[in-house]
Structure 1
Amino acid sequence: MSVRGIRGAITVDRNEEQTILQATRELLDGIIADNAIVPDDICSVFVTVTGDLDETFPAAAIRQMPGWELVPLMCALEVPVKGSLERCIRLMVLFNTDKKQSEVRHVYLGEAIRLRPDLAAGPR
C-alpha cells in the first residue's frame, strides 16, 4: 500500500459562506466518487483558497460529512500570483491505496479546469 495524492480544484461565483461550502463538498464528492475512497483511507486533506474567499473555512464542509470527523484538515491561502485564477478552492487529498499513480483521478471543476487541462480532460 502507498500514500497517493489526489488534486482537485473548483471555482465559485461569489464570496459567500454557503457557496464556498457547497463547492467544497461538490469537489470532494467528485474526488471520492472518481477514486472510490472512504474516510478510513484518508491520511489528510490540505485545502487552499485564493485571498478573495474569506467568508468561511472550506474545511467546515468536509468536517460535516459523515465519517470525516477525525480526518486531519488544514486550510491555507493560495500563493497570490498576479493574474492567477480568482475565487478558487483547491484540495490535496492524501490517501492510502494500492492504486498506481497513473490510476489516480484528479478532479477539476468550473473555471478551475484551466489549471490542469491535461488532468481534467479525461473521462469522468
Structure 2
Amino acid sequence: MIRGVRGATTVTTNEKSEILNNTAVLVKDMIDKNNIIPENVASVFVSVTAELNAAFPAKSIRELEGWNYVPVMCMQEIDVPGSLDNCIRVMITVNTTTKQSEIQHIYHHEAKKLRPDLMNE
C-alpha cells in the first residue's frame, strides 16, 4: 500500500540556509517518526508559499544519505488569501504496511496551526 506522510514547517526569512535547514529537520523527523527508508519511497512533493524563492527545499532532501535516487519535486503552493506565509509543505509517498490512522504527520513551528487535529503532542 502506498501511503502519504504529510509534514510542514515555516521559516522566518526567505534565506537559502533557513529554507534548507528547516526542510531537512522536518523531513528527518518525518522519516524517524514513520520508520521510512528511501528504498520504500515512491516520491516526495515539496511546495512553498509564493514568497519563498531563495532555494529549492528538495536539495536538502536529496542530500540525505540514501535519498539521492528518490524522485523529489518542488512546486509553488496555491496563493490563497489569508493562508500561512513562509510555509514549506512536504508529502512523502511511501510503500508501507502501516495503517493510515497510524501514520504520524509532522508539523513544526507556525505550521502546527495547519492541522491541530493531527498533532501528537
TM, length-normalised to structure 1? 0.96
Q: Is 1:67 matched up with 2:66?
A: yes
- Give the letter for the 2:22 counterpart: A
CA distance in 2 between counterparts of 1:73 and 1:31 reads 15
Partner residue, 2:105: 106
CA distance in 2 between counterparts of 1:104 and 1:32 reads 11
Q: Percent identity?
A: 49
Unmatched 5+ stretches in structure 1: none
3-state secondary structure, aligned to 2:83: coil
Alignment of 1:79-90 (within 5 A): 79-90=78-89
TM, length-normalised to structure 2? 0.98
Q: Deviation digits for residues 85-124 of structure 1, max 9, x if unmatched? A: 000000000000011101100000100000000012x14x
Q: CA RMSD in A?
A: 0.6
The count of aligned residue pairs is: 121
Partner residue, 1:32: 31
Q: Deviation digits for residues 14-36 of structure 1, max 9, x if unmatched? A: 10000000000011011011101
